[in-house]
Amino acid sequence: MNKPIIFCDFDGTITNTDNIIAIMKRFAPPEWEEIKDQVLSQTIPIQEGVSRMFSLLPSASREEITYYILNHAEIREGFKEFVAFTKEEGIPLYIVSGGIDFFVEPLLDGLVPKEQIYCNKSDFTYEKIKIVWPYTCDDECTNECGCCKPTLIRKLANQDDFKIVIGDSITDLQAAKLGDKVIARDFLVQKCEELGIEHSSFHSFFDVIEILKKEVLTNASN
């Protein structure tokens, strides 16, 4: 087997819940729900949906929103051990997230080095929160992903690397199509089943470690 490389989602994968959804439920007016449904049904692109949802929130609420999410988000069981495991095995780990820097980076502080984190940025200088997109789609992707995970995979992995994709939602689907091994939970499991994408499911990162030991590292040593 070729060298493994891991691309792991953040919201709802590393954390127990989706932080964007948690922020919207707590702070946004009711119209955010319709935008979310349009994103999940793929009626509108992810980039447009996330931009529109955050544009419902005043920049003046930055401190309150940040405090809320940093105190309510929970890191999924086994993640710390999973990061240690990837280091021990020498497997490159990249966090590729449709989440936003003001909560992704503080929540991963001390767990994952900043240079291994790819997420969207925020601008609080306007009346409403503006999302900035440093990792948009390359010429091979037309999905307007926002943080384009397939583009990042093409950028960070060599063609012959064994690409492992870990995720939970619609934002991980295009990445899953490029993965040699997909480890999924929640909505992504459903989409993989619908589309016939081979995958393993997980609840905690202890499960992920076991899957990697059995299905990736065993094969790599053969």
Helices 101-108 & 62-72 angle (0-180, nearest 10)? 40
186 CB contacts (<8 Å, ≥6 apart)?
12, 168, 169
pLDDT tens track for 53-112: 999 999 999 999 999 999 999 999 999 999 999 999 999 999 999 999 999 999 999 999
- Of residues 30, 26, 59, the one with CA closest to residue 128: 59
Sheet of strand 93-100, all strands in order from the earlier edge strand to the far edge: 130-132, 117-123, 93-100, 4-8, 162-167, 181-184, 200-201
pLDDT tens track for 35-49: 999 998 989 999 999
- Rounded CA separation 196/192 (Å): 6
Type of residue at 37: D
H helix count then E strand count, the chain: 11, 7
Identify the band that residue 170 occupies on the pLDDT scale cut at 50, 70 and 90: confident
Q: Would you give the distance in Å from CA 104 to the centre of its chain?
A: 10
pLDDT at 175 over 70: yes
215 compared with 77, residue with greater pLDDT = 77
DSSP 166-194: EE-SGGGHHHHHH-SEEEE-THHHHHHHH
CA distances in angstroms from 117 to 32, 114, 145, 148, listed in the order given: 27, 5, 17, 13
Identify the band that residue 216 occupies on the pLDDT scale cut at 50, 70 and 90: confident
pLDDT value, residue 212: 97
In a 13 Å sphere around the CA of 165, the CA atoms on its Cβ side amount to 29
pLDDT tens track for 3-34: 999 999 999 999 999 999 999 999 999 999 99
Strand partners, 130: 123
35 CB contacts (<8 Å, ≥6 apart)?
44, 49, 52, 53
